[in-house]
Structure 1
Amino acid sequence: MSCATKQNNSHSYDTIIIGAGVSGLACAARLFQHQARTKSNRSILVLEARDRIGGRVGSVRVNGCRLDTGANWIHGIGTKERPNPLMDILPKKRVKQLSGSVAFKPPPPPQDGKRDEDGWELVNPPAETGTPEPASAKDDDRVIPPEIAGDLMGTMWMLFDSLHETANSTSADKAKSITMLKAIADLEVFQNAFNEVPESYHEALRAMPQFIENMEAAPLVAQSAETDTDAPGMGLLEYAIDDFDGDQVFVQDGYTAVVEDLAKGVVDSGLVELGAEIESIRWDKSPLTVSIKDRSTFEAKNVVCTLPLGVLKDRHATIFDPPLPKEKRESIESLGFGTLDKVFLVYDRAWWTEGPFNKIIGKGVVRPPTESESTVDTSAKEPDILMGYTHDLAGLAIHPNGKSEPGMRNLSLINLHSLTGFPVLSCFVSCGNARHIESLSDSKAQALLHDNLTTWFGREIPKPAGVHVTRWADDPFSQGSYSHMITGRSETKHRVDFQKAIDVDEISRLGFAGEHTSKTHFATVHGALISGWREADAIIEGWEKGLSIVDGLDV
């Protein structure tokens, strides 16, 4: 969907929505549908700093392959009694629960590895040319045997369930001060796994919980943190939620199609202005005044701010005039906001489906227990996930006694060929490692992953035809990916406080929407969607009370 930059003739509106991400578009679409249904002439405007809609949902094309740079997942499709509302927007879109996975054996430690003053391995990206010497293991000894890999991955999924149970059975005051790291180490399922998995695989088991950093874009330890604020690490309150049940599915056709469906009426009616970066919002009197950088000033009765938490952290003091109330500032400062990046390796063909690579993979493919009574995929079909370990990025080893120390980094690569048909491997990196990858050139990021894949397979693999690194931390209009709970700082009340609009007077309000304002669906697309609807419903309630004013006139 194209959306040209629009120059509005009018500068007075009933409602201005700042940001055309999912929450902003959801708010605008709901307002638009209501006014269409009631045949009213409410005036709506969406201001978006980017040259596209979608916010942290986006895609690019590399060598003809669509790469979804932001959201890819629906975290719980819901049940018949309580469905995830995203599923109603997706009737014609393909979704898939990830099935086959293969785990490569950990590589030997580097011969000349050096550690920094904190004891963490220094990252030493490989040169743009050249690859490490293949390991000496035989092809049939490259992957972790499927029965053991199944136990390792099964432990991870049981960890998630146990963490949710622990968080929800612990008082909020107590959970606030418990680190996720300690919560993991204390879990019986994690401790028991060391008795169930052969000792030769304990190194791999100790590294598995790092996967949670990728899931939550939040650090488990200070060394993974992106900022000093995040140094205490992710807190147990991260999992004290009641999100939607059901499968975790991959959106195969990309979320941009969802955004286009959501925004169609709003965009077609010319209600979105692109390239409109917010400079300031004056909110202490009615109408509220919104100023655009190097451009126009607008007035509105209602303003809904959907700026990402990363932008609010960086600019709230200069954007809002006067400064926001204390509880809003505390919410901005207390919640965490982390980065999850993707490194896409784009190939001319899916070489991993060919011999000898598919023969190596076929010896270790496993399925989640939910798919089959057996975790072993005897057909050795193309897996959706390639998982391995590296010493080239800072990692973490967690022991069942609660001790943690530097270790390998767990790397997960999504096989987009099996999910979307494109010959692409997509690698996730989060937190401090995401910041490090963003500091590298695309070619050096590509070389790091290429060399590790070569080590995993024990032979040279084809060079990528293209590469793309998402770089969400460096994006000035997001400054990260999504929010999380920091030990000792973040509380559920900080998200609830975000939901309370600032009532300027009896007819004007400043509201907030976005995943960071959701009490129980934060860090998700559906959380952003629901928050946008929440703010729209509050405005519609005002409309229905006859309190809407545009240019000083009742409408």
Structure 2
Amino acid sequence: MTRLTHEHQHYDTIVIGAGVAGLACASRLLQYAKYQRPGNLLVLEARHRIGGRVNAVHVNGSHNPPVRLDEGANWIHGIGTGEKPNPLMSILPHKRYRELAGAVVFKAPEASAAPSHEGDVSRAIVPEIAGPLLGGVFGLLDELHKVAPASDPAAAKETTLLHSIGASDTLTKIEAQLPDQYHRTLRLMPQFVENMEAGPLAASSAEHEKGRAGLGLLEFAIDDFEGEQVFLQDGYSAIVDELAKDLVNSDQIKLGCEVRTIHHDESNVNVVETMSGRFTADRIVCTLPLGVLQHRLSQSGHEVPLFKSPLPTRITKAIDSLGFGTLDKIFLVYDKAWWLEEPYASRYSDKVVNLMESEATSSPDGGQAVPTAPDSFMGFTEELPGLIVGPDGKVEAGSRLLSCINLHALTGYFVLSTFVSCSNAVRVESMSDAEAGGIVHRALTQWLGVEPPKASAVHVTRWAQDEYSRGSYSHMIAGVSMTEHRETFQTPIVNALGAEVRFAGEHTSRNHFATVHGALISGYREADAILASMGPS
């Protein structure tokens, strides 16, 4: 890969963005002889690296060698079946992955409870209670995945997830089986949806004004891949490198090349202007994240609008109608796995809830991987605003659910990774790393009833502040977003003289949005459409 020098050159196809969608599109085109000839294919990337919202950084603790922290994607959401495999699974057959095998759930503080202090008893919940609590959340998600596709699309567009949760009797049935002291914890658990979807359930969680209506039921009206939801233990970087390998070898990716302006209806070619050069192309495939498109749609959002010529109304409406939310991570890096030692381990060791049918997880080589500690800790903090979902779907203010992934159990690194989303992600991004880490540290102290060691390093992702992403991934806004808004991106813009502009990215996928495989499939989709338009030759 080279950094761009000032130049002006014509290409058959220019792909804008070297994230998964852009790399998928360009790598598929490169399989064909035409695109192997010089001057026919170019990928422009504003960052000085490839991968987009897939990125790994290496951080030092005070005594640790550098540890790998995956800032973006970590999961394969459905590995698929033999009849319908997830295409990610074939890129690196030797990848290491597994499902989360166990969790510890901590009881939420009562509304009037005084803050916990060191020496208090652990809030860890016994499996007989924690199991139904988690089962209620996952059961609710399963129910939404069944209700949404069966609903009338027009009605589902107007229906909030909060309404659907309130109309469901899943939580109500479980609530009737639980002691009263756990009802509050149960009603706080639906906040888990906000971390999954990077979208707000209610106005209090929204990061953008147009998202104040909250997530819509259409968020779950999809036909995604079946199979296990697995954690990719070595991250996505190797998959990105595999996609980019031939493009890198043929020097067709230009790094540090931010596209300033695209002219798409003035001639028989598109004109792409960058700070380092000017290019023309018969066709452009724009894979920029939806958050960037929204920010650069007009002069008011950016000093120079991305598209010099007006886009068709169907495209601008789609860009404006979909939600784009943020999911950040607060990484606490330690010098050892203190949670395996006393006085900490005994405070939760008999409270682990199995999240799988058996205690062992099948690994790709056919062996068995048994975790020595929970893969996740779930509890609450009163330092960030949360919400309680009542039986009628109405919300009240409450504690914020924090999900801490134990990366030691999954990757071998002494790291706890905590998710924050939506308005709380924006709030955390305004803090220093130390301030954000302090929230998690104090939460762990309250959960366990004893203060754990201080982290030797803290690293916070800041996807909302990242000018080349402006968030994490897309979602459906109740009363605003429709499935058609995603599908309209799949019809290219073709001017009177034949110049094309195409779009790819997770936000353009009808069934796989908000996923890495959705970005991958969208890139393949546009490459295949380009090749099909060229005929048998």
Q: Tell me how many residue pairs correspond in the alignment.
A: 516
Contact 1:110 1:391 in 2 (8 A): no
Taking the aligned partners of 1:215 and 1:288, their CA distance within structure 2 comes to 38
Alignment of 1:329-348 (within 5 A): 329-348=316-335
Which one of 457, 463, 488 corresponds to residue 466 of structure 1?
457
Q: Does 1:59 align with 2:56?
A: yes
Q: 2:504 aligns to what?
A: 513
Residue identity in the other structure for 2:310: P
Q: 1:231 aligns to what?
A: 212
Which one of 349, 353, 360 corresponds to residue 347 of structure 2?
360
Q: Does 1:323 align with 2:310?
A: yes
How far off its partner does 1:381 sit? 3.4
1:432-463 deviation digits (Å, cap 9, x = unpaired): 00000001011100111111111111112111
Residues 276 and 40 of structure 1: is their aligned pair in 2 closer, same or farther, counting only changes over 3 Å?
Answer: closer
Alignment of 1:44-123 (within 5 A): 44-63=41-60, 64-109=66-111
1:79-133 deviation digits (Å, cap 9, x = unpaired): 00000000001311101111110011223557789xxxxxxxxxxxxxxxxxx73
Which one of 286, 307, 313 corresponds to residue 305 of structure 1?
286
Q: 1:493 aligns to what?
A: 484
Which one of 118, 131, 141 corresponds to residue 134 of structure 1?
118
Q: 1:287 aligns to what?
A: 269
Q: Does 1:534 align with 2:532?
A: no
Taking the aligned partners of 1:290 and 1:415, their CA distance within structure 2 comes to 45
SS in 1 for 2:296: helix
How far off its partner does 1:42 sit? 6.2
Q: 1:400 aligns to what?
A: 391
Taking the aligned partners of 2:36 and 2:479, their CA distance within structure 1 comes to 50
Alignment of 1:14-33 (within 5 A): 14-33=12-31
Q: 2:236 aligns to what?
A: 255
Residue identity in the other structure for 2:120: S
Taking the aligned partners of 1:211 and 1:521, their CA distance within structure 2 comes to 20
Residues 475 and 380 of structure 1: is their aligned pair in 2 closer, same or farther, counting only changes over 3 Å?
Answer: closer
Contact 2:264 2:501 in 1 (8 A): yes
Contact 1:16 1:44 in 2 (8 A): yes
Taking the aligned partners of 1:190 and 1:108, their CA distance within structure 2 comes to 19
Alignment of 1:365-376 (within 5 A): 365-371=352-358
How far off its partner does 1:541 sit? 1.8
Residue identity in the other structure for 2:80: G
SS in 1 for 2:297: helix
Q: Does 1:166 align with 2:157?
A: no
1:491-540 deviation digits (Å, cap 9, x = unpaired): 00000111110112464310000000001100000000000001111111
Residue identity in the other structure for 1:381: T
Taking the aligned partners of 2:119 and 2:325, their CA distance within structure 1 comes to 35
1:17-60 deviation digits (Å, cap 9, x = unpaired): 00000000000100011237x96556110000011000000010
Structure 2: gaps (5+ residues): 61-65, 299-304, 361-369
Contact 1:415 1:424 in 2 (8 A): yes
Alignment of 1:147-296 (within 5 A): 147-284=128-265, 285-292=267-274, 294-296=275-277
Residues 20 and 39 of structure 1: is their aligned pair in 2 closer, same or farther, counting only changes over 3 Å?
Answer: closer
Residue identity in the other structure for 1:136: D
How far off its partner does 1:402 sit? 2.5
**Under a length normalisation based on structure 2, what TM-score does the superposition of the two structures give?**
0.93
Residue identity in the other structure for 1:171: D
Contact 1:336 1:485 in 2 (8 A): yes
Taking the aligned partners of 2:470 and 2:509, their CA distance within structure 1 comes to 19
How far off its partner does 1:9 sit? 5.5
Contact 2:7 2:276 in 1 (8 A): no
1:270-326 deviation digits (Å, cap 9, x = unpaired): 10011111110000022100011x221100001000010001001023111211100
Q: 1:124 aligns to what?
A: none
How far off its partner does 1:404 sit? 1.4
Taking the aligned partners of 1:369 and 1:314, their CA distance within structure 2 comes to 42
Q: 1:550 aligns to what?
A: none
Taking the aligned partners of 1:90 and 1:471, their CA distance within structure 2 comes to 28
**Under a length normalisation based on structure 1, what TM-score does the superposition of the two structures give?**
0.90
Structure 1: gaps (5+ residues): 114-131, 374-378, 547-555
1:140-169 deviation digits (Å, cap 9, x = unpaired): xx3101111111111111111100111011
Which one of 433, 437, 440 corresponds to residue 449 of structure 1?
440
Contact 1:208 1:410 in 2 (8 A): yes
Q: Does 1:385 align with 2:382?
A: no
Moved more, 235-244 or 187-196: 187-196
Residues 39 and 238 of structure 1: is their aligned pair in 2 closer, same or farther, counting only changes over 3 Å?
Answer: closer
Contact 2:137 2:190 in 1 (8 A): yes
SS in 2 for 1:11: strand
- Identical counterparts, % of pairs: 51
Moved more, 69-78 or 97-106: 97-106
Residue identity in the other structure for 1:338: G
**RMSD (CA atoms):** 1.8
Contact 2:4 2:276 in 1 (8 A): no
How far off its partner does 1:355 sit? 1.5
Give every structure 1 segment of 4 or more consecutive aligned residues whose post-TM-superposition deviation is greater than 4 Å: 38-42, 108-113
Residues 191 and 295 of structure 1: is their aligned pair in 2 closer, same or farther, counting only changes over 3 Å?
Answer: same
1:184-223 deviation digits (Å, cap 9, x = unpaired): 1111212211112221101100000000000000000001
Residues 479 and 367 of structure 1: is their aligned pair in 2 closer, same or farther, counting only changes over 3 Å?
Answer: same
Taking the aligned partners of 1:135 and 1:214, their CA distance within structure 2 comes to 31
